[in-house]
Amino acid sequence: MESAFTYTESELVQGLKAKDQKVFGYLYDRYSPALYGVAMKVLNEESNAGDVLQEVFLKIWRNIDRYDESKGRLFTWMLNITRNTAIDTLRSKAHKMDQKIQVIGDDVHLYTTNLTVHPSVDHLGLSKVLEKLTKEQRVIIDLAYYKGCTQEEISKVLEIPLGTVKTRMRNAIIQLRNLLKI
């Protein structure tokens, strides 16, 4: 499925805007594992994550004209669409707060076992990063990014004062960036 040649991001955007189906195929091959990973992390369920991924790529295809390169990278835009679509699906299934927590609780053990990791991704890199992050740091990032929890919700779930939620997130991200050397 991998395309034989590569495009730059602006070439990709131009191709998509020109409704080039070959460029779309390339876009899918290159980004679908990352986007599917987001949908899986949000929903924790393969069938729904597959539906979300399909919806996400249709949105990208149909709405590429709304993408503004001056406002950010294509990948960031696609991630936003994916995260939002997946979280909407999660909420529309009437998942309640406590179920969200349940999901993230189980999730912690799924990082290195359940998921088939895309070959292009350094699997060892992931486990190394996750090992160096405390469970607390992983959970706070995942609750905010993958489950869409507010500061109030996180404060309640982790039983920490509202004022320390942002501080703890900052430390988690700093630790993450140190590990990734970014």
Polymer length of the chain? 182
Please select the residue that binds another protein; options are 14, 48, 88, 156, rule is CB under 8 A.
Answer: 88
Is residue 12 part of the contact set for another protein (CB under 8 A)? no
Is residue 139 part of the contact set for another protein (CB under 8 A)? no
Q: Binding mask 94-113 vs another protein (x if CB under 8 A, - otherwise)?
A: -----------------x--
Q: Kindly report the number of other CB atoms within 10 A of residue 87's CB atom.
A: 21
Taking the complex as a whole, the smallest distance from the CB of residue 182 to another protein amounts, in Å, to 4
Taking the complex as a whole, the smallest distance from the CB of residue 11 to another protein amounts, in Å, to 19
Taking the complex as a whole, the smallest distance from the CB of residue 65 to another protein amounts, in Å, to 11
CB 154 within 8 A of CB 144: yes
CB 16 within 8 A of CB 63: no
Tokens 């495009």 identify what position?
A: 7
Judged by CB under 8 A, the chain residues 29 through 58 that form the site for another protein are: 29, 32-34, 36-38, 40-41, 46, 49-50, 53-54, 57-58
**Beta-carbon contacts of residue 152 (< 8 Å; ≥ 6 apart):** 162
Q: How far apart are CA 45 and CA 134, in angstroms?
A: 25
Q: Which is nearer to another protein, 14 or 117 (CB)?
A: 117
